[in-house]
Amino acid sequence: MAYIDPKALAAAGFTDEVKPRSASAVISIAGMEGSGKTTWALSGPKPLFYQSTDFGDEGIIQKATGQIIRPARGDYKLNIPHEYRAFVDRKETADERRQREGRLANFVHDNFYRPFHDDYVAAIKAGVRTVVWDNAVDVWEYVRLSVYGREATNRDDLKTEANAKFREMVRLANVHGIVLIMVNHLKVKFESYYKADGSLGWKPNPNEFEMQGFDKAPFLVTASLWTKFTAPNQFEVTVKKCRDNPEMVGSAMPAMSFDDTMAMLIPTVEKWEF
């Protein structure tokens, strides 16, 4: 086996040193309503910064242990002004619609993306170990709206900008060595079929589900988990992706705390809280 001397590597500006696995991960946890997603996320390493756009945290966050940090001004639920919303009976020209979409994008950028991003960065700098986005579906939708409003557009430059803004926030977790937990929703998957007249139709498949939100999120995460309610006060977690421990993919286990789950998925990290 060929071998380059470490001194020669150092002289060339390289190294063959492999550092231990860091206590950093991006986790997606998805499930239907009431399947234990938020409870699991709030068991992450503390201190934990909780960025909520949802209405389902009351009664759950009060049960969490350790330091849970939230913005003093409140959460990130966005109240979009009536004049920026789209309605089927709106009478406007194409130019007026584009102007309205632009005003909507500016509003969402100033009132969601900027404070959400600034708080996220400030929390990392303050020393939090975990950031929870509850839920990441809303985070993606608002990031998308902050670029081009609701307008259905084929402009690839705008789609690229929206994707880049979301990916950059996810990437910050890796850069700064923290845990980012993105809480997502599942939806029933639709499948195509041919109607009697030969035209193509779509129908829901009640036995198949898919994750809502940013469709490229599964490629960004260290692990992807799906939760399921199985019996009163009993929940199950299925591993959909595990970069560190691929043989765990497809396995289902009773819902456990973050530490216990990670001991199975990423056993090379002995301690998540510093």
Q: What is the spatial distance between Cα 218 and Cα 200, in angstroms, rounded to a whole number?
A: 29
Tens-digit pLDDT profile for residues 185-220: 888 778 887 888 888 888 777 777 777 888 788 889
Average of per-residue pLDDT across 148-159: 76
**Does 3 fall in a domain?**
no
Query: Tokens 């060929």 belong to which residue?
Result: 2
Q: How far is CA 197 from CA 84, 189, 194, in A?
A: 40, 24, 8
Residue-wise pLDDT tens digits, 102-152: 899 999 999 999 999 999 999 999 999 999 999 899 999 999 999 988 776
Confirm whether 183 is domain-assigned: yes
Smallest CA-to-CA distance from 164 within 206, 214, 128 is with 214
Read off the CATH number of the domain in which 95 is found.
Answer: 3.40.50
38 within a domain of the structure (yes/no): yes
* Residue 229 confidence class, pLDDT cut points 50, 70, 90: confident
Residue 152: predicted pLDDT:
62
> Dihedral of the CA atoms 76, 82, 83, 86 (nearest 10)?
90
**Does residue 121 fall inside a structural domain?**
yes
In-domain check, residue 244: yes
Query: Strand 179-194 vs strand 130-134: parallel, antiparallel, or unpaired?
Result: parallel
Domain hosting 129: range is 20-265
Q: Is the pLDDT of residue 75 over 70?
A: yes
Residue 15 lies in a domain: no
pTM for this prediction = 0.90
230 or 268, greater pLDDT? 268
Per-residue DSSP letters for 122-171?
A: HHHHHT-SEEEEETHHHHHHHHHHHHHTT-----HHHHHHHHHHHHHHHH
Write out pLDDT tens, residues 33-65: 888 899 999 999 999 999 999 766 677 888 889
Domain count, the chain: 1
Domain membership of residue 87 (yes or no) is yes
Residues 261, 77: Cα–Cα separation, whole Å:
30
Evaluate whether residue 1 is within a structural domain: no
